[in-house]
């Protein structure tokens, strides 16, 4: 008879509080979502915003960012690497067959290395802006690069339900990258991508991770002066 696998000691580190315009965007969401898809129990470990550049935290994350992830005593950083490490523990996220696994990894890198950089290049105030047509008018060159990436991605998702053959950790990364555009009207030009994001966001694990992140921020919100 096979013995049960020993319970792992997993903990995610995120900010105790963040301002409302980034609720649902802070990258520990990717990690919480992956853990919930994989049905791996975890603890949360919070740091105050401002503490992330302290020598103590820089010893845990060389760039002083969240998320970090502790896995049985080893601390990891970079959300993509963390989601991959979780995928290595669950076939639900990362196929076991070599072809499926390598395709998934290609799409993970595509999300973080090809699609996310032009989106992150939009100024932070733009991504926080509620005047949704503004990016297209004031930053035409930046938006043109995003449009080029999104139209290729849309072509792919016109032919495929998910990035690889089924839902994988690549979809967690791509969905969270595309969500970074939520304050702009850019995604509205790509109905297939908007539908893909909605489909991934409808997953129970996503909703639970999002509620957990936002619930924590609301609980720790600074008291009004």
Ligand X SMILES: N[C@@H](CCC(=O)N[C@@H](CS)C(=O)NCC(=O)O)C(=O)O
Nearer to ligand X, 94 or 112 (CB): 112
In angstroms, give the least distance from the CB of 23 to ligand X. Answer: 11
Torsion of CA 12, 67, 188, 205, to 10 degrees: -10
Sign (positive or negative) of CA dihedral 219, 221, 224, 225: positive
Minimum CB separation of residue 128 from ligand X in Å reads: 13
Largest Cα span, the chain: 65
Nearest to 63 by CA among 77, 48, 73, 47: 77
Residue 27 touches ligand X, criterion: CB under 6 A: yes
171 contacts ligand X (rule: CB under 6 A):
no
> 66 or 150: whose CB is closer to ligand X?
66
Site string for ligand X, 56-95 (x = CB under 6 A): --------xxx-----------xxx---------------
Task: Give yes or no for a contact between 139 and 119, defined as CB atoms under 8 angstroms apart.
Answer: no
Distance, C-alpha 11 to centroid of its chain: 17
C-beta closer to ligand X: residue 64 or 189: 64
Chain contacts with ligand X (rule: CB under 6 A):
26-27, 52, 64-66, 78-80
């Amino acid at each position: 008879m096979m013995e049960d696998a020993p319970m792992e000691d997993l903990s995610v580190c995120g900010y105790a509080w963040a301002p409302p315009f980034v609720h649902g965007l802070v990258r520990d969401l990717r990690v919480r979502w992956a853990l919930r898809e994989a049905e791996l129990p975890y603890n949360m470990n919070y740091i105050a915003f401002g503490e992330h550049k302290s020598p103590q935290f820089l010893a845990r994350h060389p760039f002083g960012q969240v998320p970090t992830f502790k896995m049985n005593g080893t601390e990891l950083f970079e959300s993509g690497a963390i989601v991959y490490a979780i995928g290595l523990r669950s076939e639900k996220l990362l196929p076991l067959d070599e072809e499926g696994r390598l395709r998934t990894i290609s799409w993970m890198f595509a999300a973080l290395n090809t699609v996310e950089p032009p989106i992150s290049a939009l100024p932070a105030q733009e991504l926080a802006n509620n005047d949704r047509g503004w990016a297209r008018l004031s930053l035409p060159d930046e938006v043109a690069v995003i449009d080029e990436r999104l139209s290729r991605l849309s072509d792919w998702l016109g032919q495929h339900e998910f990035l690889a053959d089924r839902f994988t950790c690549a979809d967690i990364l791509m969905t969270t990258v595309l969500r970074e555009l939520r304050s702009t009207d850019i995604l509205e030009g790509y109905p297939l991508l908007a539908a893909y994001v909605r489909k991934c966001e409808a997953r129970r694990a996503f909703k639970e991770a999002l509620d957990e992140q936002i619930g924590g921020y609301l609980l720790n919100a600074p008291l009004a002066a």
